[in-house]
Structure 1
Amino acid sequence: MLIQNESRVKEYLPITGLADFNKLSAKLIFGADSPAIQENRVATVQCLSGTGSLRVGGEFLARHYHERTIYIPQPTWGNHPKVFTLAGLTARSYRYYDPATRGLDFQGLLEDISSAPSGAIVLLHACAHNPTGVDPTLEQWEQIRQLMRSKALLPFFDSAYQGFASGSLDKDAQSVRMFVADGGELLMAQSYAKNMGLYGERVGALSIVCGSADIAVKVESQLKLVIRPMYSNPPLHGASIVATILKDSAMFDEWTLELKAMADRIISMREQLFNALKIRGPSVSKLWMFNLLVHFLLIPLCQSVDHLSYHAETPGDWSHIIKQIGMFTFTGLNSDQVAFMRQEYHIYMTSDGRISMAGLSSRTVPHLADAIHAAVTKLK
């Protein structure tokens, strides 16, 4: 549609980007009925995907905000500390992931945020935390909100997976909308790389929810002064794709159906991997008894029994695989186990045990389950 529209030109966009894209992006994350939008308290600028949105927001805060310390979850996306440090902020961490439970260290999170100086910036993953896949519950989000507002801490949300986590655009935006509903200020970085597959188009937005419409106008003016010497103005085509889809009801409905299908497939991969690990316990079938007998008979004759089909039960609790959400899972595997799986099974992942659930298929789940089983059995 865009290519065949002969009235379209390739002139520069304004510094703030495509107006329709900005308006629709704010509505997508905050909700069409958001009081902040209705009261014109939101300043939105098109940026170079999520990374560019974070960088522009970071530089704006470094220039104009009274507190230049940003607290980042431990662990977090590897680029977060670099982006904010180079933007002129001081990055510190707050506890987030608990390796023992492979879940949220909620008490540690509250303690670290409580000890942050009044007015400090706090980076929050809107949903599908990268890299852990661990999100707070809505009740925990409410406690975080109350604590942050009581200490006048400034939320800076990063939303890279809206709709891609649960399959619902609204559900994945609930944490953000809770903070907007209380009337307070916040920053919001959006990316369309994952949920629209526009990785190479670099499409994103930075929205700043302000205290009043007058302040929003002034904030937008200052954001222009950040953007102009950085990249002058954003690219046209990717933002046009997003705007076209978001304002066409038929396309929007088709997109949300496809988005849910993608999210459901990832959820299905989680369930399949969990079940594959769960069923790798001893069986009482005749075939199993035969394999067990052969196993023990051949031990004196074989240098290795790795190729026999008997499996002892996979040690550990693997329920975190289905409790976590989004593209990534922290498996709990250590670096030695990861190296073993790479060497023996040709499975490649980061040394901290993070895997991309989106990279799995029904065909490859059994092989991964075999590798995990072998790794945790042989290397404690």
Structure 2
Amino acid sequence: MFEKVQIAPPDPILGLTETFKADPNPDKINLSVGVYQDSSGRTPVLETVKEAEKRILEQEDSKGYLSMTGAPVYCAVVQELLFGAGHEIIDSKRAATAQCPGGTGALRVAGDYLHFVHPGAKIWLSNPTWANHNTIFGAAGLTCEQYAYRNPETNGLDFDAMCESIKTIPKGDVILLHGCCHNPTGIDPTPEQWAIIGDLLAKQEVLPLVDFAYQGLANGIEEDRTGLLELVKKVKQMLICSSFSKNFGLYRERTGALTIVADDAQQANTVMSQVKLRIRYNYSNPPSHGGQIVAVVLSDKELKAKWYKEVAGIRSRINEMRHLFVKTLKEKGVKQDFNSIIEQRGMFSFSGLTKEQVARLRDEYSIYIVGSGRINVAGMTPSNMDRLCEAIKAVV
């Protein structure tokens, strides 16, 4: 049977990493895959994570399976992080959470649920969006459509076009929204715009699916849930996919969650019963270690405060690189306007570089950027900035 198999095309992002690893150039730079790096180019383990792991090692007494929805304490801290302690959604038990293997796993479970339980629903993705959104939902059997998002002339949000797009989405369809740090553009709506989006979705009777992978990397842990909180004021039903890869550095531990927000507790439990079946048919139950780490840190007042500071340090370094990048390009005499990158938030920015320019950066300078021009700002360091900007000057 295998003789007929043809080689699959490489993943547009992870495939670049494989090419990067094989590149013998000692000065190569990887700005493609979404992994945070410190000023020395390492992906560190947070001190709070190390402390939590020490406690887990000392206290853990079983490696038995978790339930299909994971550990209750983990699910509880996920909801508190999303909505804030004492929020009406939590107190009324209108939310139900399932621990999932990463944010990607949560998205796939959501896609499987939507395809099976709401087979006529299409999912609407921003133009542009994370490249894997299309493949995840397509693999789950959903039809993907697009709504307007980025204004290519300003490299900012085209909010009027976005609203007009939302008005065309049929009742019963699903819209994927990025909770903060939009990937790949780094462009987010304002709180006032989030409120308008919520009104439109309520009027259209469109179900929001919020991809919340970067909480804390825009303006702060609590500040970054502003958009989500504006939405839940307007919309009663929602799906939320969250991840702790970036803000906890738990990339290889695959730690995420799918949260259902429903009209009431009974409805939330009913929807979760269908989600549990999708989980059972896929991976049965989630991995434990990453979830234990998150639960230990967020359940301890001192560790949680220290984690807030560590996330603030990550956020600060990324924003410093944004400013240094634009400043260095100007100093080198680059005429193209990159100022919008300073206003964007999170690990990624839409640079405006063309596919041809990206190809030249890779082939001539061993600088790896996704073909769309999306750059991982967290991959920039003070030591590689001069070479990076010199190369960009040569290709633009």
Q: For 1:40 and 1:221, how far apart are their aligned partners in 2? A: 15
Structure 1 unaligned blocks of 5 or more:
281-312
- What amino acid sits opposite 1:269 in the alignment? M
Shift of 1:9: 0.6
Overall identity of the aligned pairs, in %: 42
**In structure 2, what is the equivalent of residue 130 of structure 1?**
183
Matches within 5 A, 1:319-330: 319-330=339-350
Aligned pairs for 1:8-157 (under 5 A) are 8-65=61-118, 67-157=120-210
Is the CA contact 2:194–2:231 (under 8 Å) kept in the aligned structure 1? Answer: no
User: Is residue 191–residue 230 contact of structure 2 (8 Å, CA) maintained in 1?
Assistant: no
1:120 to 1:4, Cα distance in 2 relative to 1, 3 A: closer
Deviation at 1:7, TM superposition (A): 5.0
**3-state SS of 2:114 partner:** helix
Higher deviation after alignment, 335-344 or 196-205: 335-344
Q: Distance in 2 between matches of 1:92 and 1:362?
A: 40
Letter of the aligned partner of 1:89 in structure 2?
L
Superposition deviation, residue 238 in structure 1: 1.1
Q: Do structure 1's residue 347 and structure 2's residue 367 form an aligned pair?
A: yes
Equivalences, count: 343
State the secondary structure of the residue aligned to 1:232: coil
> Separation in 1 of the partners of 2:330 and 2:194?
31
Distance 1:5 1:180 in 2: 40
Aligned to 1:275: 327
Partner of 2:146: helix, strand, or coil?
strand
Distance 1:4 1:331 in 2: 43
Q: Structure 1 stretch 35-44 or stretch 107-116: which is displaced more?
A: 107-116
Residues 119-198 of structure 1: pairs in structure 2 closer than 5 A: 119-166=172-219, 168-182=220-234, 184-198=236-250
Q: Which runs of 5+ in 2 are unaligned?
A: 1-53
> Could you say which structure has the larger radius of gyration?
1
Q: State the TM-score, normalizing by the size of structure 2.
A: 0.83
Mark the CA change 1:184 to 1:273 in structure 2 (over 3 Å): closer, same or farther. same
Superposition CA RMSD, Å: 1.5
Is the contact made by 2:212 and 2:241 (CA closer than 8 Å) also made in structure 1?
Answer: yes
Q: Determine helix, strand or coil for the equivalent of 2:368.
A: coil
Q: Whole-Å Cα distance in 2 between the matches of residues 134 and 6 of structure 1? A: 43
Q: Secondary structure at the match of 2:282?
A: coil
330-339 or 71-80, which deviates more: 330-339
Matched, 1:261 2:313: yes
SS of aligned partner of 2:240: strand
Query: Aligned equivalents of 1:72 and 1:323: distance in 2?
Result: 23
Which residue number corresponds to residue 23 of structure 2?
Answer: none
* Greater relative contact order structure (CA < 8 Å, 6+ sep): 2
Q: TM-score, normalised by structure 1?
A: 0.87
Q: SS in structure 1 opposite 2:252?
A: coil
Q: What residue in structure 2 maps to residue 210 of structure 1? A: 262
